[in-house]
Structure 1
């Protein structure tokens, strides 16, 4: 039995889709934890065991992890969390107890690059993600943290600006290169680990994409894909603070984002060497053609 959390999200939904294709052939049963089962397609609900509720709730994970061999773990956004610890480790503590209580053997989580770097202790959401990894690893389960930098899908939040103004924004220096991965590749890495549970112990599995890219590189590629100029506009941290606060995000998470952005611009994502094992296949150009361009044109 494999349990999938966040099955309606960008990554969890893709993990579920891959497992629905491959798990039955291996005799694997699937269970999902979801707040609103109505968000799952009827065809999906018919093929999985559904536990309704939040996977931060002790009673919910106690039911969901009974008989489970493996769990895909992803913490959902919590804009009003009182602290980063509450948003990550606090949300995970009930599940960590349930892993032990039910003898779950393997857990795959989504986390961040940066462990072992000088900035790891002051990188906001990254620091909180790494602390969550330590909490899970401390339960004794075999654990793999998918260590990711930036997601290509983050650009989907800027579809209107790209379409109307030919502009995308971030806080990074325009020519600083860093790894970037498509969420589909992250999901594929997670599904592979969940299906082949021959691994033991704890560790990280970096998912770096095929190449490091700067904002200037991204602007050039987007311009070529769209056939018109797309330019990068660097935002100040104060502008980001105002935007996040204006969306109703609590102060603790806002400050966490700003600390993470500072750390990224200082190179926290650059500490892992790209190898065939850490390289994921989807190029930024391919993603723009297959995902971003249709979203902008829609």
Structure 2
């Protein structure tokens, strides 16, 4: 039995479909079962609730061989680290209590980074806590998600630009969420691995944001530019949207770490995934743009 958290998210939903296609026994933890695909509701066991609740995990984990762990983002959390640790402490105790042998967690690349890195540091703290469960653990260590750009689709279509805080002429490691699901599915269905390790997983490109803009322009058939936003301006934007000081700090520290190369050491040894940025644009970004325009 494989237990999957966040089964309606971008990664979890793809993972559940892959596992069911392989005829695996799947149990999902979900806050709102109505958001599950109909086929998933028919074929997977469903435990309703949040995986930061010990009672929910006590329903979900009996008999489980493996657990897929992802902490859902919460921009309103007072502290990213406490948010991640609140889930991880409950999860680690439940994994130990139910003797779950293998856990695959979604984390960040850059373990060992010597400076505070906001949300990324929170993921590292989560990994450390989950290791205390004693289960075999793989921290899938990810760079920038290509899907983050979907949140800027209006700007891409309306203003011909997307924005990040990193330098436009330095490579930005990235990955497609479908590839994260693919790596996770492989680990969860072949439990021959042991020990506790970080597993950096990166897409095959070494594109800069300027290079990403060129690819987007070619695939969408319209000019798209990259515009760098300063950390100060981004912090001001977050505050204008009601973010508190700690939330702003958590996000801007993470972006500063990205800009200063937090992913670089892992890039040299990362497991490459199949989806390059151009393929992702064709398969995901362009259909989303076409749907928005129709």
TM interval, shorter chain, is over 0.9
Partner of 1:44: 40
Q: Deviations over 1:164-207 (max 9, x none)?
A: 11100000011111210000001100010000010001001111
* Alignment-derived partner of residue 129 in structure 1: 123
Q: 1:288 aligns with which of 281, 284, 291?
A: 281
* Cα shift readout 1:131-154 (whole Å, capped 9, x = no counterpart): 110111111000001000100000
Match for residue 76 of structure 2? Answer: 80
Q: Aligned ranges for residues 14-33 of structure 1 at < 5 Å? A: 14-22=14-22, 24=23, 28-33=24-29
Count of aligned residue pairs for this structure pair: 291
Question: What does residue 2 of structure 1 align with?
Answer: 2
Deviation at 1:213, TM superposition (A): 1.6
The residue number in structure 2 matching 1:56 is 52
Q: 1:279 aligns with which of 272, 283, 293?
A: 272
- Tell me if the contact between 1:112 and 1:148 (Cα under 8 Å) persists in the aligned partners: yes
Cα shift readout 1:5-43 (whole Å, capped 9, x = no counterpart): 000000111111110101x2xxx3110000000001222
Please say if 1:218 is aligned against 2:181: no
Between the aligned partners of 1:140 and 1:111, the Cα distance in structure 2 is 18
Aligned with residue 106 of structure 2, among 106, 110, 131: 110
Q: Please say if 1:236 is aligned against 2:217.
A: no
The two structures, once aligned, show a CA RMSD in angstroms of 1.3
1:212-254 CA deviation, whole Å, 9 max, x = no partner? 2211110111111122211011111122223333444443222
CA-CA distance at 1:273 after TM superposition: 4.1
How many angstroms apart in 1 are the aligned matches of 2:208 and 2:31?
A: 37
- Could you tell me which residue of structure 2 aligns to residue 68 of structure 1? 64
Q: Distance in 1 between matches of 2:88 and 2:39?
A: 30
* Residue 142 to residue 42, structure 1, CA distance change in 2 (3 Å): same
> For residues 178 and 80 of structure 1, what CA distance do their matches in structure 2 show?
27
Unpaired runs of 5+ residues, structure 2, are none
Q: Is the 1:79–1:248 Cα contact (8 Å) retained in structure 2?
A: no
- Decide whether the 8 Å contact of 2:102 with 2:136 is kept in 1: yes
Output the CA distance in 2 between the equivalents of 1:67 and 1:249. 41
Extract unaligned runs of 5+ from structure 1: none
Asked if the contact 2:142/2:201 (under 8 Å) is kept, the reply is yes
